[in-house]
Structure 1
Amino acid sequence: MNTRLRPAGRGRRLAAALTAMILSVAFGATTPAGAATSGGNPPDSVQDAQHNHTMGSQVARHLGHRTAEKPTAFGPAAVVYGMDVSSYQGNVDWQTAWNNGGRFAYVKATEGTYYINGYFAQQYNGSYNVGMIRGAYHFATPNTTNGTTQANYFVDHGGGWSRDGKTLPGALDIEWNPSGAECYGLSQAGMVQWILDFSNTYHARAGVWPVIYTAQQWWQDCTGNRGDFTSTNPLWVARYASSVGVLPYAWTVYTFWQYADSGTFPGDQDEFNGSYDRLQALANG
C-alpha cells in the first residue's frame, strides 16, 4: 500500500484555487484598487492627465475593479442589462452589444464645465439606432463650479431629455474626487446643497429628475446621510460585487446597478432593476 502523504496544504491550496475559479465564472472577479481594467477604460493616471473620468473610475480606485460577464444564474428574474460608455470606448460596435443582450446604454456627455465627449454623437445616436434605450451622464466636480452651473452645462451639451420612450433621464455621476479631498472640499451640508442645486436645475431645464449615480460609502462619508432624494431621484448604485449590498441613505430600492467595470459589454456593466416595460416607463418620465 502506498502511504506517502501529499505535502501539507497542497490539497487545501488546490481546493481554494478551484473554488476561486468557480466563483470568478459565476460572480465575476475583483482586482485590487488601482489596478488596470481590461474593459476598455484606461488607468487612473491617463484619466487624470486628460481630466476625463469614467463613471465608476473612482469607485474602482477606492474599492477595486471587477470583471463580470452578463449574469444568467443569479439576481432578480426581471432585469434588463446594459452598459455605460465614454470617449475611451471610441466608436462603439453597437450591433454587437445588442446581439450580446444589451438593451440600454448611458453615454458620458460632460465633466465639470471643461469637458465634452468627442464621441458623444456616435455613441448616443448609435445606441439609439440599434434599438437601445439610451441616456447621458455628467461626471460631477463640485470643487470647480456650483451645481446649477454644471447642470446647465450638461443640458447644453447633450444631457437633455425627451419623452420619446427611448431617452432615459440624465444621470449625475457623483463619486470620489479624482484628485484632492474625497468630498471635494465641501462640508456634508454643502455637498447635499450642491447635489440639490444640480437636481433642481436639471429638472427645471429637462422636465424630469436626474438619476443619481453614487456608491454607498462615498454617500455616507460626503453627505453624512443628510438629505432625502428618494421622492424625486432614481438611484444608480455602484457596487462591484455579486449583490447590490446596502443602499445609500434613505433609498429602499435601486433603479440601476453598476456591478462591474468590465465584462460582456463595452465600458461598465449595468442592470436595470425591473422588466423592459418598466425601463420604457422610466424613459417616458
Structure 2
Amino acid sequence: MKPLVTGAVVVLGLLTAALAAPASAQTIAEQSTAARQPTAEARAHGITKSGDAFMGWRQTSTAVAPTVTAPAATVEGIDVSSHQGNVNWASQWSAGKRFAYVKASEGNYYTNPYFAQQYNGSYNVGMIRGAYHFATPNDSSGANQANYFVDHGGGWSRDGKTLPGALDIEYNPYGATCYGKTQAAMVTWIRDFLTTYKNRTGRDAVIYTNLDWWTRCTGNSTAFNSTNPLWVARYASAPGTLPGGWPFHTIWQYSSTPIDQNRFNGDQTRLVALANG
C-alpha cells in the first residue's frame, strides 16, 4: 500500500504547487482586461471593450463652428484612433488638415492596430504628425505607461515632421472618473509619466485634458503650465477658461464632427518649431 500513498502525496503536491504558482503575465493581462469593462456611458459613446478609449470620448459633440478672429494665425488638424480604421489621408490633406495626432497606446495593455497606416500615412501625405497615449492611472505607474508609450510608437525625432507625444488624461471610460486616485496622487502620477517621457525622448509631452476633469481630479493643478504644452478639449465656439493656470493653449480640440477637429494656436512656422523642439 505504500506506493499508493506515495503516489497520492505526489499528486497532492503537484496540485498544491500548481495552485501556488504565480499567474503568467498573459493570464494577468487577460484577467485585467476582463475586469476593465466600459461603463454604460462609455458604451453609449462607442467604447465597447478595453482599448477602445479615444480622445474626448465624453465631450459633448457640437456642430458650432469655432470663431476665428483675425489676425490670429491657426493651423487645422485632426486626431484619430482605431475607430477611424484606415484613414484617407489624401482627402484630409485636401480638406486643409496639416497636422494629425494618432493614438498609439492605452494603459500598459493596448496598442492601436491601425497605428502604422495612420501615423505613416499622415506623414507621407505631408502632415506633421504625433502620437498620443490614453492614460489609465489605476492600471500601473506613470513611468510604466510612459515607457510603454515610447516603446509602441510614442517616440520623437527632430525631423521637423514629428510632434512631441501627448498624454491624453481625461474621464475614465472603465470606472471611477478619477481612476480611484486623490488629487495629489493624480498629480504625482502625471509628473511620473511626464518625467519619464522627457528622460526617454528629450521632449516635454503635450497634455490633453479639459477644465472639468482637470479641476476635479488634480485640484486644477498648476504644476505643469510652464513646461508642457496644453491641448484643451472644449466643443464650443471658443476654448473658454483654460485649466491649470496655463496662460495659453497650444492646441484646441473643438469638435468631433465628422472626425475630431483640432486647431493649432499659431501659424505653420510655429507648428514646425514645436515639432523641432
- Identify the TM-score tier after normalising by the shorter chain: 0.7 to 0.9
Mapping of 1:57-68 within 5 angstroms? 57-58=57-58, 60=59, 64-67=60-63
Task: Note the C-alpha offset of 1:66.
Answer: 2.0
Q: 1:279 maps to what in 2?
A: 271
Change (3 A) 1:227 1:249: closer
State the match for 2:52 in structure 1. Answer: 52
Mapped partners of 2:70, 2:231: distance in 1: 16
Give distance in 2, aligned partners of 1:155 and 1:249: 25
User: Does residue 179 of the first structure (1) align with residue 189 of the second (2)?
Assistant: no
Hey, what does 1:270 align to over in structure 2?
Answer: 262
Provide the residue aligned with 2:5 in structure 1: none
**Aligned mates of 2:232, 2:71 — CA distance in 1:** 16
Matched, 1:200 2:191: no
Shift of 1:249: 1.6
**Alpha-carbon distance, 1:68 to partner:** 5.1
Counterpart position of 2:35: none
Distance (whole Å) between structure 1 residues aligned to residue 267 and residue 199 of structure 2: 29
Measured against aligned partners, the alpha-carbon deviations of 1:185-223 in whole angstroms (never above 9, x if no partner) come to 000000000000000000000110100000011101100
Counterpart-to-counterpart distance in 1, 2:208 and 2:190? 11
2:228 corresponds in structure 1 to: 233
Find the aligned partners of 2:268 and 2:173 in 1 and give their Cα distance. 34
Aligned partner of 2:14 in structure 1 is none
Structure 2 residue corresponding to 1:106, chosen from 101, 104, 108: 101
Letter in 2 for 1:205: R
Q: Distance in 2 between matches of 1:187 and 1:51?
A: 24
Q: What residue in structure 2 maps to residue 86 of structure 1?
A: 81
1:259 Cα deviation after fit? 0.2
Residue deviations 1:95-140 (CA, integer Å, cap 9, x gap): 0100110000000000001110000000000000010000000000
Question: Which residue identity does 1:57 align to in structure 2?
Answer: W
Mapped contact 1:192–1:227 kept (Cα < 8 A):
no
1:111-130 → structure 2 map (5 Å cutoff)? 111-130=106-125
1:218 to 213, 216, 219: 213
Name the structure 1 match of 2:161. Answer: 166
Q: CA deviation at 1:75?
A: 6.9
Cα distance between partner residues in 1 of 2:50 and 2:120 = 24
Where does residue 255 of structure 2 map in the other structure?
Answer: 260
Higher relative contact order (CA closer than 8 Å, sequence separation 6+): 1
TM-score, length basis structure 1? 0.79
User: How far off its partner does 1:44 sit?
Assistant: 3.8
TM-score (ref. length: structure 2): 0.82
Residue 108 of structure 1: SS of its match in structure 2? Answer: strand
Q: Distance in 1 between matches of 2:121 and 2:44?
A: 27
Deviation at 1:46, TM superposition (A): 3.8
Distance, in Å, in 2 between the alignment partners of 1:258 and 1:75 is 19
Deviations 1:39-64 (A, max 9, x none): xxx96464142431111103x2xxx2
Report the AA paired with residue 57 of structure 2.
Answer: S
Change in 2 beyond 3 A, CA 1:75/1:201? farther
Of 186, 190, 193 in structure 2, the residue corresponding to residue 191 of structure 1 is 186
1:26 matched residue in structure 2: none
Which amino acid in structure 2 is aligned with residue 51 of structure 1?
G
8 Å CA contact 2:100–2:129 kept in 1: the answer is yes
RMSD of the TM alignment (CA)?
1.9
Structure 2 counterpart SS, 1:249: helix
Alignment coverage as a number of residue pairs: 238
Whole-Å separation in 2 of the counterparts to 1:218 and 1:199? 18
